Amino acid sequence: MTTESPAAAAYWERLWADGRRYRQLDDTEIRLLEDHLRPGRARPALDLGCGDGALARRLEQLGYRTTGIDCSPSAVALAAAQDSGPGPVWRCMDITTDDLNALPDRAYAVITCRLVYRWIDDQAAFLDRVRRLLAPGGIFWVATEISGRRADTDPRQHLGITPAEAEILTAGWSVVHTVDLDVLRCYALRP
């Protein structure tokens, strides 16, 4: 018998296809991100694990030429179905394994990763790939739940990253800014 890792595309595909949805992006969280961004000016942005595309669409509205990628075909279809005119480019890709040359740009001024880092098996290898995609002076924005913010009895406790995972995330950047939003922590990381 095989067990399916949450990192597997099939795992996410089943959840999206079954109608599972995730924490909505609200104005407070968007403002935190915008506080760390310069105007887009048509520079490239990349949202990793874009889900239904809400964050990628927001980056596009901020003037970035945005690509959203997700390993679930249903998520990508859902994102694309909300396009009304020119908007982000959507790609079905696994950020941990697929060829990065398949992306529309070689380097990105902004890379975002919302509610995804927790589910990556080899986080150090993932971060190496992100660094390869960041343009000089670029920013990597991660929004993730952190452990210890929920009551012991809360069944969603496992959604938080551990202190060890946070250490892997923040190691090796020249600038690390963090800001907390209830159970979430947002990281603005610069090479």
Ligand X SMILES: C[S@@+](CC[C@H](N)C(=O)[O-])C[C@H]1O[C@@H](n2cnc3c(N)ncnc32)[C@H](O)[C@@H]1O
Binding site for ligand X (CB under 6 A): 7, 12, 22, 49-51, 55, 69-72, 75, 94-96, 114-116, 119
Q: Which is nearer to ligand X, 94 or 165 (by Cβ)? A: 94
**Do 144 and 115 form a contact (C-beta atoms < 8 A)?**
yes
Cβ of residue 67: shortest distance to ligand X, in angstroms? 12
Cβ of residue 176: shortest distance to ligand X, in angstroms? 21
What gap in Å lies between CA 44 and CA 56, rounded to an integer?
Answer: 11
Radius of gyration in angstroms for the set of CA atoms belonging to the chain, rounded to a whole number: 16
Cβ of residue 188: shortest distance to ligand X, in angstroms? 17
Cβ of residue 104: shortest distance to ligand X, in angstroms? 16
Q: Which is nearer to ligand X, 41 or 132 (by Cβ)? A: 132
Q: Which residue has the tokens 């809400």?
A: 54
Q: Which is nearer to ligand X, 7 or 89 (by Cβ)? A: 7
Q: Which is nearer to ligand X, 48 or 166 (by Cβ)? A: 48
List the Cα angle 54/58/59 in 5-degree steps.
120
Cβ of residue 106: shortest distance to ligand X, in angstroms? 19
* Nearest Cα residue to 111 out of 5, 174, 191, 177: 191
Tokens matching residue 190 = 């610069």
What gap in Å lies between CA 130 and CA 125, rounded to an integer?
Answer: 9
